[in-house]
Amino acid sequence: MNAAIVMPALNEAATIEALFHDIQTSVSLPIWLVDDCSTDTTGDLASNMDVRVIRLPESLGAWGATQTGLREAASRGLDFVITMDADGQHNPEDIPALLAPLIAGECDVSIGSAPDRGSRLRRLAWRLMRLTSGLRCTDLTSGFRALNARAIDLLASPSASSLVYQDVGVLLMLEKADLRVVEIPVTMPQRADGKSRIFGSWLAVVHYMAHTLLLSAAKRKRPWVSR
């Protein structure tokens, strides 16, 4: 199977070795770590564990780093890519379940979905996003996904580079292209170190919500149809 795991990472040295070990004992797929200008030993630890490291010359954020990996996958003609976080929230044992419907030709994208995770505020935010975007996806912010070649090419395109975050904007882009998306139930534990790489303050949360809700309203097309 011509596939790879694409993992954006920023300063995840505390947990990255254990995660790589879990992945390598669960699936036989190459891991591409996109190092988003870490200031710790994340990249070096990955290199020592037979992981391909793509080091960015400047920080692009989680989505920019992910798209870098997707562009590399598109250039190599990969059939499938699994995107997952480097913080230990995504269980490698769920990867086969994400890939199964793509291999069977039942969808173009599968999303590892855990809608019960997080606080009441997070679930309220998701509700507002669904209302403004028309999306029916239950877990709007999961970065744990499997993509086929068509989805890889779309999200590696220049039009996807205008996105700031990997959630609602990506889902709306997939919808507009009429790609088939399914959600696969998974369990997501809390981050091992409890820190978010995106929301360092409440001001960042407010900025994210304002940006996402405006994008949702502007790009809304039609209700989400999950298969």
58-86 pLDDT, tens digit each: 999 999 999 999 999 999 999 999 999 99
Question: Out of 39-43, 63-67, 174-178, 202-206, which region has the weakest mean confidence (pLDDT)?
Answer: 202-206
Q: Is the pLDDT of residue 199 over 80?
A: no
185 phi/psi in degrees, rounded to 5: -65, 130
Q: Where are the alpha helices (DSSP H) in 42-147?
A: 42-47, 61-75, 95-103, 120-133
Amino acid identity of residue 101, one-letter, is P
116 is written with which tokens?
């019960």
Q: Which residues contact 174 (CB under 8 A, 6 or more apart)?
A: 108, 109, 151, 154, 155, 181
Helix, strand, or coil here: 99? Answer: helix
Q: What is the pLDDT of residues 106-146, one digit of tens each?
A: 999 999 999 888 677 878 887 888 888 888 899 988 999 99
| Across 33-42, 153-162, 176-185, 213-222, least confident range | 213-222
Tokens, residue 139: 């877990």
